[in-house]
Amino acid sequence: MATAAEKLREEVRRRYAESARAVTDGTDGCGCGSGSCCADGGNDRKFGEALYDVEQRGELPAAATLASLGCGNPIAVTELHEGETVLDLGSGGGIDVILSAKRVGPTGTAYGLDMTDEMLALAQQNARDAGVGNVHFLKGIIEQIPLPASSIDVVISNCVINLSTDKAAVLSEIARVLRPGGRVGVSDVVAEDRLGPTERAERGSYVGCIAGALSKGEYVAGLEAAGFEDVSVDFTHGVADGMHAAIVRAQRRQ
Ligand SMILES: C[S@@+](CC[C@H](N)C(=O)[O-])C[C@H]1O[C@@H](n2cnc3c(N)ncnc32)[C@H](O)[C@@H]1O
């Protein structure tokens, strides 16, 4: 029998499969505003394509921007260098993988990891349309990353870690796949420390990226326990009372 965590993950998978199909079919079948499931609809200045500048959107196929479901723009805050290897956790329609692939150039590699077949198919099509060859989309869960230890220079993610039912596993997997000194730069929804789990759940659904958010203190403590230093969590814009989109940065200890 499925555990509560497995049922919740399946609910997340179904919701984002529906969102991918809505983009592929040219409909808005999940009631997600401009495609933004994270927002539970109607919140499109806080989630999705509006968080990317015009220049970045110009580098992308229309379906990739339309499929953008993030709460930030990890590419804008994460310095990427030629030749680096980048991993995007919960890569969705591939927007941040495609932008990363262009930043690291042909000598670098960008991996996208997602558990939802429909999202992986959309991302692969978007990467083909964008003409980037240095990308690999992997099927799997972010709690068990299907890559070897110390194989990645930079981990990014956009509004996905809040959806995980085992955040400690995700943070320790990020530490495992990063090389010593590797960086993590993610956008995520983060709660103020004054809000307990019940108060977070009162402000929005789990699949809508609100109820499962960590607090700022929990994020910092979790990253430090997983082996990171220079941890910072900076709120960028509010998404609900006491809940914010945030940029989370840290470096894996040497
Ligand atoms: C809110 S969307 C964000 C997509 C993308 N990062 C973006 O900015 O558009 C969440 C994505 O994460 C994936 N996802 C959620 N939980 C996951 C997990 N535990 N393991 C792998 N992928 C997951 C979903 O399938 C979906 O594509």
Atom from ligand 1 closest to the CA of residue 68:
9
210 exposure class (CB count in 10 Å sphere: 0-12, 13-18, 19+): buried
Q: What is the pTM of this model?
A: 0.94
Report CA(48)–ligand 1 centroid distance (Å): 13
CA gap 83, 38 in Å, rounded: 32
Give the percent of the chain with pLDDT over 90: 77
Distance of CA 186 to the CA centre of its chain: 7
Interior/surface letters 169-187, b for 16+ CB within 10 angstroms, e for the rest: bbbebbbbbbeeebbbbbb
Whose CA is closest to atom 25 on ligand 1? 116
Q: pLDDT digit string (tens) for 146-166? A: 999 999 999 999 999 999 999
Q: pLDDT digit string (tens) for 64-120? A: 887 888 888 888 878 899 999 999 999 999 999 999 999 999 999 999 999 999 999
Give 135's pLDDT tier (boundaries 50, 70, 90): very high
Ligand 1 pocket by Cβ (under 6 Å): 9, 12-13, 16, 37-38, 68-70, 90-93, 95-96, 114-116, 119, 141-143, 158-160, 163-164, 209
Pairing of β 109-114 and β 85-89: parallel
Q: pLDDT digit string (tens) for 221-251? A: 999 999 999 999 999 999 999 999 999 999 9
Ordered DSSP codes for 33-54 = TTT-GGGTSS-TTTSSGGGS-H
- Cβ-proximal residues to 197 (8 Å cutoff; 6+ apart), any chain: 211
Report CA(160)–ligand 1 centroid distance (Å): 5
Contact between residue 68 and residue 62 where contact means Cβ atoms under 8 Å apart: no
CA gap 187, 160 in Å, rounded: 8
Atom from ligand 1 closest to the CA of residue 13:
25
Report CA(222)–ligand 1 centroid distance (Å): 20
